[in-house]
Amino acid sequence: MTKPRIFVAGHKGMVGSAIVRLLKKQDVEIITKDRKELDLLSQGNVQKLFKHEKIEQVYLAAAKVGGIQANNSFPAEFIYQNLMIEANIIHAAFQNCVKKILFIASSCVYPRLATQPIKEDALLTGKLELTNEPYAIAKIAGVKLCESYTRQYYKSHGIDYRTVMPCNLYGPGDNYNEENSHVISSLINRFHQAKIHKLKNVTVWGTGNPKREFLHVDDMASACLLVMNLNKEIYKKNTQPMISHINVGSSVEIKIKELAENIKNIVGYKGKINFNKNKPDGTPRKIMNNKIIKSLGWQPKITLKEGLAEAYKDFLNRSWKK
């Protein structure tokens, strides 16, 4: 019996690399391509990949990602690149008889003022957070692409394209570049630089009052494999044809102020934290309703305290550190 051939798009990113680490423990053949080998923005190149590689499953973790600053600075790139990546991969997969895809979306697709904890059916019920609206719209399109191909071609072609909706992720392989990083990686970098340069204070964007839910990327990867390999009837029982995604989160929320203090202590920085209230906070609160994924037997294993310490070690091990 031949091994399943699985393409992980975005295998060098934080989520993709975590999925690869788990897949390596299974009896499968993993297919990966870096940017020099494959331009995911090129429809022709993506078509050639699927035509020649005989792929059977896809984990679609490739995306252009970043924090508030990056989303505000490059909205055109965020919407265009993410739309193209998703459309090229999903359509090429369908045309080459790939029956299973798992698309990794983002909790930013939910309305800015959604009822908390956010249920899956909150999608498209209100206005998005303006600071990342282009990215969120692209991700919503990816969710609906998977949903639409499954609705139209499930019976005739056996198409079964699924989506997971993670909360804020962090961990090994994160991007620590100050210009386009997310909150945890940005704060780790900022406090570390302040520590080694002996700065008296560190400035954090916003009031520090928004609450966020964070999940270690290895826990996310385990949820991805669980959802991808769920029995079709179980997946259908826990989703709806037009609400087909499943939330994945830790069910633990923390204020940005408290998060900053925790990272400050882990890094060993002794100075003060200043909050720049002239900068945007983003969504005031964002915690996922995780009842479905937990009812399927999944539970996160890594606490935020443990995960932050591991993330700082990962940062220190990166070759570009200053």
What pLDDT sits at residue 280? 83
20: helix, strand or coil:
helix
Question: For position 143, which CATH number holds?
Answer: 3.40.50.720
Q: How far is CA 12 from CA 18, 22, 62, in A?
A: 9, 14, 9
Output the pLDDT for position 151.
98
CA distance 183 to 180: 10
User: Domain of 244?
Assistant: 5-317
Q: Is residue 277 part of a domain?
A: yes
Assess if residue 99 is contained within a domain: yes
- Tell me how far CA of residue 302 lies from CA of 106, 216, 219, 229, 312, in angstroms: 20, 7, 7, 22, 15
Active site residue 235: no
| Count of domains for the chain | 1
Residue 208 lies inside a defined structural domain of this protein? yes
Report the 10 Å Cβ neighbour count for 208.
Answer: 19
Looking at residue 67, what is its pLDDT?
A: 76
Residue 322 is predicted with a pLDDT of 47
Residue ranges in the chain whose pLDDT is less than 70? 1, 179-180, 319-322
Does a structural domain hold residue 132? yes
pLDDT of residue 68: 76
Looking at residue 180, its pLDDT comes to: 65
Could you tell me which of 84, 8, 96, 6 has the C-alpha nearest to residue 50? 96
Q: What is the Cα–Cα distance from 86 to 227, expressed in whole angstroms?
A: 19
Out of 59, 80, 110, 135, the active site residue is: 135
In a domain, 322, yes or no: no
Model pLDDT, residue 98: 98
Model pLDDT, residue 319 = 47
Tell me what pLDDT residue 150 has.
98
pLDDT reported for residue 318: 80
**E strand segments, the chain:** 5-9, 29-31, 57-60, 100-104, 160-166, 168-170, 201-205, 211-216, 245-248, 253-255, 272-276, 285-286
Q: How far is it, in rounded angstroms, from Cα 181 to Cα 82?
A: 17
Domain-located, residue 31: yes
Residue 206, in any domain of the structure: yes
* 11: region left, alpha or beta (phi > 0 left; psi from -120 to 50 alpha): alpha
d(CA 202, CA 227): 40
Distance CA 194, CA 284 (A): 27
Q: What whole-number percentage of the chain has pLDDT above 90?
A: 88
